[in-house]
Amino acid sequence: MSVTHNLFFLSIFNFNVAKKFRDDEVLRYLELNHTYDDAMEFFEISRMTISRIKKRNKVKHMPEKIKVAIVGVGNAASALIQGIEYYKSRSNNVGLLHPTFAGYHISDIEIVSAIDISIKKVEKDLSEAISENDLELIAKVPRLNVKVQMGNILDGVIDQTRKLIAPAKIDSVNIVNELKMSGAEIVLCLLPSGADKAVKFYAEQSLQAECAFINTTPSPIAVDKNFARKFHDAGLPLIGDDLQDQFGATIVHKQILRQMIDQGVEIKESYALDVGGGAESLNTIHRSRGIKREIKSKSVKSSLNLKAPIVAGTSDYVPHMKNSRNSMLWIVGNGFLGSEIVLDLKIQTKDGPNGGAILADVIRATKIALHQGSSGAIDEISSYGFKNPPKGTISIETAQKNLANFVLGIKNQ
């Protein structure tokens, strides 16, 4: 092993004198065609330690790329694509829930196909198309050689979003052929809320192309027994519905309520209301506010078994906020001697990046499901990353445990 290699990895992994390292650093090092002997010398560890690292990460060999087709090249897609590039050096894992997930790094995700309907994005390279979104470019994304293809509009555009989206007036490509030709194994649906016909259409196209399907929208796909049966019969995983943010109103609401309950506080009433900009908020306001509010409210109440009145959802659209979102939480409870406790909290987030870490885990978990031959609606993955999973919302701790067991091949009781 050359001195140049040593200096290169020292700069990437930022080792101190004690040579502290993470499992993913050893796995990445081995992936770059270094031998066990190289790793033993560089990390100052034994062959047994390397074997244990691979065993606890369930790595029998270095993973191949996870080939993903994206439907909807909006802010969420931009965040994911930038994240793949941003974390590629592995020198900074801030913001990731799991730098390595069952042996897969976020940079093992490869976008092989992209579908959109906007004239601002169609027929451009994906690296250029993402610059048309509200989300600023944080990472320098090289040319990806993935041309954005024209999709089927169906109900993807309403009068209120037509000017913002600017749909192209050209024919759609054959979606099944596009998915097959690209080599995609997973279709990631990032369409706007309320586009039920379009989401169902792409779920069907995914089936025909023999791809797993991840539905990040509130449209009922994974919870739909008919779709679940179709994906089961096809031997393909189905994941959804309604992606949960890494640190948004829903998860914060649940955690604070849980802590108050654990501290003996009786919850009397609560709400969590969002105000945001961008096409997603505009769509939610005009055609899916009701279903989003129902899903969010149910997600909070059912995971904590609460009977108190709770309302959660988007309340307004503010154009100049663009990709930003403000969430207002209000909780009223009674403590010792019935004394009133009131919590009034505001959270400010960026919509696109707030789902990136969850998406990275969900995509890698879906790859594991494909490897295992799991099919139909996969509740272990859906409960971990979505607000409306097939079997209903469970506690965060239980969802994390169930996903870990699923990856390890352990059947949950």
Residues with Cβ within 8 Å of 226's Cβ and at least 6 positions away in sequence, in order, are none
* Number of domains the chain contains: 3
What pLDDT sits at residue 203?
98
- Residue 223 inside a domain? The answer is yes
Question: What does the pLDDT average to over 226-247?
Answer: 96
Residues 198 and 262 placed together within one structural domain of the fold: no
Residues 198 and 164 placed together within one structural domain of the fold: yes
Phi, psi for 28 (deg, rounded to 5): -65, -40
Please say which residue of 11, 36, 56 terminates a domain: 56
Question: What does the pLDDT average to over 42-49?
Answer: 80
Q: Please state the three-class secondary structure of the chain as a single string.
A: CCHHHHHHHHHHHCCCCCCCCCHHHHHHHHHCCCCHHHHHHHHCCCHHHHHHHHHHCCCCCCCCCEEEEEECCCHHHHHHHHHHHHCCCCCCCCCCCCCEECCEEHHHEEEEEEEECECCCCCCEHHHHHHHCCCCCCCCCCCCCCEEEECCCCCCCCHHHHHHHCECCCCCCCHHHHHHHHCCCEEEECCCCCCHHHHHHHHHHHHHCCCEEEECCCCCCCCCHHHHHHHHHHCCEEECCCECCCCCHHHHHHHHHHHHHHCCCEEEEEEEEEEECHHHHHHHHHHHHHHHHHHHHHHHHHHHCCCCCEEEEEEEECHHHCCEEEEEEEEEEECHHHCEEEEEEEEEEEHHHHCHHHHHHHHHHHHHHHHHCCCEECHHHHHHHECCCCCCCCCHHHHHHHHHHHHHCCCCC
What pLDDT sits at residue 76?
96
Residues 177 and 126 placed together within one structural domain of the fold: yes
- Residue 143 inside a domain? The answer is yes
Model confidence over 100-153: pLDDT tens digits? 888 889 999 999 999 999 999 999 999 999 999 999 999 999 999 999 999 999
- CA dist 182 and 188 (Å) reads 14
**CA-closest candidate to residue 12, choices 107, 123, 114:** 107
Residues 328 and 347 placed together within one structural domain of the fold: yes
Please say which residue of 351, 374, 391 terminates a domain: 351
**Most trustworthy range by pLDDT among 20-34, 69-83, 311-325, 382-396:** 69-83
- Residue 310 inside a domain? The answer is yes
Are β-strands 104-105 and 186-189 bridged in parallel, bridged antiparallel, or unpaired?
unpaired
Least-confidence region, from 22-31, 210-219, 251-260: 22-31
Residues 52 and 79 placed together within one structural domain of the fold: no
What pLDDT sits at residue 14?
42
Are β-strands 212-215 and 186-189 bridged in parallel, bridged antiparallel, or unpaired?
parallel
Residues 340 and 403 placed together within one structural domain of the fold: no
CATH number of the CATH domain containing 85: 3.40.50.720
Residues 211 and 323 placed together within one structural domain of the fold: no
What pLDDT sits at residue 59?
63
What pLDDT sits at residue 69?
98
CATH number of the CATH domain containing 256: 3.30.360.10
Residues 271 and 323 placed together within one structural domain of the fold: yes
- Residue 413 inside a domain? The answer is no
More confident position, 30 or 107: 107
Q: Residue type for 53, please? A: I
Residues 192 and 308 placed together within one structural domain of the fold: no
Residues 139 and 277 placed together within one structural domain of the fold: no
- CA dist 249 and 238 (Å) reads 26
Model confidence over 162-183: pLDDT tens digits? 998 999 999 999 999 999 999 9
The residue range of the domain holding 288 is: 249-351
- Residue 320 inside a domain? The answer is yes
Residues 93 and 137 placed together within one structural domain of the fold: yes
Residues 196 and 81 placed together within one structural domain of the fold: yes
pLDDT for residue 288 is more than 70: no
Rounded percentage of the chain residues whose pLDDT exceeds 90: 63
Tokens found for residue 49: 């330690």
- Residue 226 inside a domain? The answer is yes
Output the pTM of the full model: 0.80
Q: Is 316 exposed, middle or buried (0-12, 13-18, 19+ CB in 10 A)?
A: middle
Question: What does the pLDDT average to over 31-42?
Answer: 74
- Residue 61 inside a domain? The answer is no
- Residue 378 inside a domain? The answer is yes
Please say which residue of 335, 351, 367 terminates a domain: 351
pLDDT for residue 9 is more than 80: no
